[in-house]
Structure 1
Amino acid sequence: MLFLCYLQEFQQRSRGISGVVGVIDGSHIPIKQPAYNEVDYYNRKGFHSVVLQAVCNDRQIFTDIFIGSRGRVHDARIYRNSPLCENVTERKLIPPGQHLIGDSAYKLHENLLTPFRDNGHLTEEQIRYNTRFSSIRSIIERSFALLKGKFRRLKYIDIADMDLLNHIIAAACVLHNFILMHEPHVQEFDIEDMNNADFADNENNNINNNVKNLGNHKRSRIMEMLVQKFRAHAK
């Protein structure tokens, strides 16, 4: 299984949130205005783009990529349309005790955990969970920043051929992985890229309620474990 070999790599970063095998998010790749259907490629940030959906491990290596969705499409829909969604929700890749983590754009379920939504009434335990959750999830933003910092072509791809454009993005991701696997200490990226890391929008989807309940149960159980560890440490 693709993700299982990375399970141990998140343990040091996890701060009590165990079972993490990857972090998922989407990043906009700026492109030339398409000659057709230009509206769908115009994103909420005010430029034309395609979206790179990626999962990374704790070494910032991409373990799954899905490329080419139009910039106007929300991250939740992109995930739902990707092969990864079916493989994760049907436990083809990740068993019940392990999970990906993503931001609040994604729907919570058993194998994809999300933070508690901040409605202004979060408990202390939920805030603590979200803080630790965020410290793990930030790795994907750094992965995107490193990718775009090293392969400047991804800052703006002036190509009309969408198939070629997607192949360029895929090639950059492969080279990104190759470099990190052979030169693991390479950490060059623009501070501007880091500050402009992509954040996803919220979107409803039709994930089955039973699956969502499993995710709620798992998230609550992890939160309670964090509370117990915090109280034990306080003593």
Structure 2
Amino acid sequence: MIRILAVDDDRRMVDFVAGELRQAGYEVVKAHNGDEALALLATETVDLAVVDVMMPGMDGFSLTRILREEHGVSVILLTARHHIEDKERGFSAGSDDYLVKPFEAKELLFRVKAVLRRYDRSMEEPLSLGTLHIDRRSYEIRSENGTMLIPLKEFELLSLFAANPQQVLSRDQIIERIWGLDFTGDEQTVNVHIKRLRGRLMEFAPDVKIVTVRGVGYKIEVAR
């Protein structure tokens, strides 16, 4: 079961978050400040943390940085303010998403699901497609032509396609899964990354191709 850490010095808020998450089927552990959260992580493992920005002592930005860098935990930040500076600090600290109070339970659950899809820790096993082998732990791709490292976004994009063979993925689905809900670019970013990835596959694993499905999106195929 997916376990989520809820951190907020407001006990009513942390109880609300925990209650909604448990009702949605997640296991939840609670903390009321940054030090308590880190103490919990000495004995507990979690898949995601929902962290309040404004807390006494260690604030949410500092806690987020530690959670990301030392524990590899994805983070959604909660704040009562909608300042662009807070959002910038949050993403700089490594947060995956940002939620402004007050918020509806439905929005919290939607964003939790979106982040978990992007960082699915149950899907770290290697993937194979034709002559292509993808190691999602070492971030290496291998084929009959050897081993290659590629830029992270291209690796995530390739892994997404390989984990969903024959499934057509729309540009919106790709943007949500790879760049996140707060992505401010456009579809051209997807097109550029796919073009680069196609060029690499053409030389490295020519039997594996990313195909355009006109008017819908893209899918990955293996030449028979």
Task: Provide the TM-score with structure 1 as the length reference.
Answer: 0.26
Higher relative contact order (CA 8 A, sep 6+): 1
Q: Which has the larger radius of gyration?
A: 2
- Which structure's residues are more often strand, by fraction? 2
Task: Provide the TM-score with structure 2 as the length reference.
Answer: 0.27
